[in-house]
Amino acid sequence: MGGPRRFVASLLSAHPDEIIFTSGGTEGNNLAITGVIASYKLQATSYKIKIPHIITTNIEHSSVLEVCRYLEKTKQARVTYVPVGANGIVDPKEIKKALKKETILVSVMYANNEIGTIQPIREIAKAIRNFRKSNVKGQMSKVAFPLFHIDACQAAQYLDLHVDRLGVDLMTINSGKMYGPKGVGALYVKRSTPIAPILMGGGQEHGLRSGTEAVPQICAFAKAFEIARGMSDSESKRLSALRDFLIGRLQKDFPRATINGDLGARLPNNVNVSFPDFDSELLVIELDAAGIALSSKSACEHDNPDESYVLRAIGATKKGEKTGSLRISMGRSTTKKDLTLLVSALQKIFKKYETVSKLGGSTSK
């Protein structure tokens, strides 16, 4: 296990003992958040603050938001959900304002899985570092709170993952998001970071993740990670050009369409677009019939099958309104021809339902 662990660590500019292999992004996020809270509780007599405070944003992955809600419900922590702006990006100043002496953890997604927006991680890390300096009194001297966790599952293929440059204490990555096998991932845990296990038993993974390691998956994950990082610059450049081409076509051919999320600070492989007065599910079904596979939101959203909480958070959808939203994800096999076919298919769909509407039909499903 030393080989894959050392290799993954090298890609993050981390130490091998700072890598904990997990079953994927969901477990990594759960371990990061619940593990820090559990460790804090175990040392409760050493701290003056009995109920810790967590800061996150309102567009995080469900594996972060659901954990935070559970911790609130069970009175294990208080949570502040900092809202992002209409562009899908959180203002570091708002994170700074939310910091308090009770804050032990800040968890912010590096890049959003639905609208592709990239958060200003370094600026947030700087605000946290400055706050730590003024918040040392009354805490255990060997632990500097708040800790900083980022969910980097969507970012791992394209963005900087150097943990020291990012200024993070914990970072989640997922094999399945980089063409590796599903069911495996890793959590970076900076040395001396207080964290307790959420799975117990044989003491594997430095005691933080008991259970026999899935060695074949871990080895394949390490190889997929190597390939992804090796292609990162070239793929980012290629996909950014395709992304911008698609956005340009959508804006030109569909003047009422809205591109969701910041146009600049976004992943190279993501375009999220809304078409007013049209049903999202109907669009997905029609495109599927045309041989184009897209989604209307994250596959991880099950709480409300009809709405995206991320789009609600940025004001792109309103209750009771139809907004035909599409999440368009591109990858290594995506070509300009594919995107041209997508635009053509959309034109045909809207023309079809414009005719239906004139005949007294509806674009609702």
Annotated catalytic sites, by residue? 300
Are 159 and 177 in contact by the 8 Å Cβ rule? The answer is: no
Q: Which residues of 214-248 are buried (b: 16+ CB within 10 A; e: fewer)?
A: beebbbbbbbbbbebbebbeebbebbbebbeebbe
Are 33 and 76 in contact by the 8 Å Cβ rule? The answer is: no
Q: Give the C-alpha separation, 104 to 120, whole Å.
A: 20
State both tokens at 355: 């005719």
According to DSSP H, which parts of 24-81 are helical? 25-42, 62-73
With CA atoms as reference, report the closest residue to 293 among 320, 238, 330. Answer: 330
Are 60 and 115 in contact by the 8 Å Cβ rule? The answer is: no
Tell me if residue 295 falls in helix, strand or coil: strand
- Tally of residues, the chain: 365
With CA atoms as reference, report the closest residue to 36 among 58, 53, 24, 60. Answer: 53
CA end-to-end distance (rounded Å), the chain = 52
The number of C-alpha atoms within 13 Å of 192 and in the hemisphere containing its C-beta is: 6
According to DSSP H, which parts of the chain are helical? 2-12, 25-42, 62-73, 92-98, 121-134, 163-166, 215-253, 280-289, 309-313, 336-358
C-beta atoms surrounding 344 within 10 Å:
13
State both tokens at 292: 């184009």
Q: Which residue has the tokens 């298919």?
A: 345
Tell me if residue 245 falls in helix, strand or coil: helix
What single DSSP character describes residue 83? Answer: P
